[in-house]
């Protein structure tokens, strides 16, 4: 039994403040280049933006924040940049986990971690264990993550289980194997840095997320910019396949009914 509703099978319960925000933190390199600094200075600065973003999530009551830190395609970058990014990841974990823990934040890391150095893998495990009981905010860092990798690893694990009814596997058989099965699907997807693409982030989970793109570079994305994204989210009409008229006609009672109604049963 999946922990959270699937947006394609059930109409999810929606709220004014998104429960789950997923962010592609892009533009660090350009931020640095504009200042004639090495690209790494932008990544360094980007960690500060992560800190501020976590703070805003805590203040606004957002329950899940997922950030794309390193994609499965980012290994294609110059070896020096990859190596500096790995060192920065280690440093950020060492520096930030105590503060996250004090603030009730649970840290989780998703992605194919087997390619990381043993030291980094151990640090990830210990940070996750240390914060495992925290419930105020679940901060997920996607590292060596790819949406296709996620779908494939879920399919491979699902195929080891017994198929559901009629000998066929269903969405509900697959859902528990996805890397983020512990979280509802993102309500709001944000990408900074001006590009308007998914870059192999959460392909399955973004099925019904609201998209928000900004030209601001990640180090420039402050609380005001985040609030602008949240304000935009509040203007959206989330129809999940239905018509506006249906939404207007929804009394709280019928909304609840729609929530429990299976669409594709």
Pick one of 10, 11, 20, 26: the residue that binds ligand IPE (CB under 6 A): 26
197 binds ligand IPE (CB under 6 A): yes
3-state SS string for 166-193: HHCCCHHHHHHHCCCCCCCCCCEEEECC
Smallest distance, Å, CB 221 to ligand IPE?
11
Q: Residue 152: which residues within 8 A CB-CB, separation 6 or more?
A: none
**Which tokens hold the place of 225?**
């910019």
Shortest distance, CB of residue 100 to Mg ion, whole angstroms?
25
List C-alpha distances in Å: 37 to 46, 91, 215, 222. 14, 20, 20, 21
Residue 24: which of Mg ion, ligand IPE, none does it interact with, CB under 5 to 8 A by kind? ligand IPE
Q: How many CB atoms lie within 10 A of CB 232?
A: 15
Does 92 sit near ligand IPE (CB under 6 A)?
A: no
Choose the stretch contacting ligand IPE; rule: CB under 6 A; options: 19-27, 51-59, 179-187, 207-215: 19-27
Q: How far apart are alpha carbons 50 and 67 in whole angstroms?
A: 8
In whole angstroms, give the CA distance from residue 140 to residue 105. 10
Least Cβ distance, residue 44 to ligand IPE (angstroms): 11
The two three-digit tokens of residue 193, written as one number: 């840095």
> How many Å apart are CA 119 and CA 221, to the nearest integer?
31
Q: Is 220 annotated as a binding residue?
A: no
Residue nearest to ligand IPE (CB): 29
Q: Which stretch binds ligand IPE (CB under 6 A): 92-100, 155-163, 192-200, 246-254?
A: 192-200
Residue 85 binds to ligand IPE (criterion: CB under 6 A): yes
Q: How many CA atoms lie within 13 A of 175 on its CB side?
A: 18
Give CA–CA dist 186/6, Å, rounded.
11
Taking residues 100 to 139 in sequence order and writing x for each that binds ligand IPE by CB under 6 A, - otherwise, the string is ----------------------------------------
Q: Which is nearer to ligand IPE, 11 or 93 (CB)?
A: 93
Q: Which stretch binds ligand IPE (CB under 6 A): 22-30, 113-121, 164-172, 207-215?
A: 22-30
Would you name the residues annotated as active-site residues? 26, 74
26 touches Mg ion by CB under 5 A: yes
CB neighbour burial string for 88-100, b if at least 16 within 10 angstroms, e if fewer = bbeebbeebbeeb
Name the binding residues for Mg(2+): 26, 210
Chain residues in the site for ligand IPE (CB under 6 A) = 24-30, 68-71, 74, 85, 193, 195, 197, 199
Name the binding residues: 26-31, 39, 43, 71-73, 75, 77, 191, 197-199, 210
């Amino acid at each position: 039994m999946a922990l959270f509703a699937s947006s394609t099978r059930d109409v999810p319960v929606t709220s004014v403040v998104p429960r789950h925000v997923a962010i592609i933190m892009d533009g660090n390199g350009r931020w640095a280049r504009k200042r004639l600094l090495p690209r790494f200075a932008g990544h360094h600065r980007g960690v500060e933006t992560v800190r501020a973003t976590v703070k805003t999530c805590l203040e606004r009551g957002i329950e899940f924040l997922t950030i794309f830190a390193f994609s499965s395609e980012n290994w294609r970058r110059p070896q020096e940049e990859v190596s500096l990014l790995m060192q920065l990841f280690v440093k950020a974990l060492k520096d930030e986990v105590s503060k996250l823990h004090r603030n009730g934040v649970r840290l989780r890391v998703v992605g194919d971690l087997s390619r990381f150095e043993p030291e980094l893998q151990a640090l990830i495990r210990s940070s996750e264990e240390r914060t495992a009981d925290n419930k105020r905010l679940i901060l997920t860092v996607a590292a060596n993550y790819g949406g296709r990798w996620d779908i494939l690893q879920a399919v491979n694990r699902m195929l080891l289980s017994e198929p559901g009814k009629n000998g066929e596997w269903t969405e509900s058989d697959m859902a528990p194997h996805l890397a983020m099965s512990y979280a509802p699907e993102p309500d709001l997807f944000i990408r900074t840095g001006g590009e308007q693409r998914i870059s192999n982030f959460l392909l399955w989970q973004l099925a019904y997320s609201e998209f928000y793109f900004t030209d601001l570079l990640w180090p420039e994305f402050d609380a005001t910019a985040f609030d602008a994204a949240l304000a935009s989210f509040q203007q959206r009409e989330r129809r999940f396949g239905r018509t506006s008229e249906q939404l207007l006609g929804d009394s709280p009672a019928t909304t609840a009914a729609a929530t429990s109604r299976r669409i594709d049963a």
